[in-house]
Amino acid sequence: MSSEKAMAPQIFTTGRLLSSPNISISFVEAKVNSTLEVAEKISNQANEGVDFIKLYVGLTPDLVKEAINKSHSLELKVIGHLFSTSWKDAASHNIDFLTHAVPVSPSLLSFQDRERFIEYGDDPFNHFLWLDLVKINSNELDEMIESLVENNIYVDPTLSVYEAMVKDNFEGNQHLWTKVLQLTKKCTVVE
């Protein structure tokens, strides 16, 4: 028997995404309606040996808070692809990571743009409408980023996905790619 070790990547796992039926993506999520259900699903995933818990778009702030608290009590990190809960709220509850450079949060839009977003596509996957409406230098965005920095929250920008989406599907909207890059740069903190 050889004592040589194979070179391989280290893989970290999550269980099924935790979301609520408010915004349903049935093929990728475990639906939860209460803090008890959140705690139960997280305990089950911890027993299965996951490395992270991933929270998804439909979770409300109270369910996100419970998920973070329960996960941390089991020494699990928490990743969020959020919509019903703002990044700022998630940061205040000590989420560990957020995914995707575009928070798609109506709370980060001006009142007028928020109304337009709700009228034409209040949807967690309407990234391009949100990008079109958001002001990169807004107070709301600055406050969110300050919260991320203060709470040491990591953001995975997933730039390759946005680049492909803009280039492949939305000809004439290349300015949105520029906004993705501006937003990512704004979220980058160099120490």
CATH classification of the domain holding 55: 3.20.20
pLDDT digits (tens, 9 = 90+) for 68-109: 999 999 999 999 999 999 999 999 999 999 998 889 988 899
- The number of folded domains in the chain is 2
Domain span at 92: 13-99
- On whether residue 149 sits in a domain, the answer given is no
- Tell whether 70 and 110 lie within a shared domain: no
pLDDT digits (tens, 9 = 90+) for 123-151: 788 888 899 999 999 999 999 999 999 99
Q: What is the DSSP string of 70-120?
A: HHHHTT-EEEE--SSS-HHHHHHTT-SEEESS----GGGS-HHHHHHHHHH
- Tell whether 61 and 113 lie within a shared domain: no
- Tell whether 84 and 124 lie within a shared domain: no
- On whether residue 26 sits in a domain, the answer given is yes
Reported as a pLDDT band with limits 50, 70 and 90, residue 167 is confident
pLDDT digits (tens, 9 = 90+) for 7-61: 889 888 999 999 988 887 777 778 999 999 999 999 999 999 999 999 999 999 9
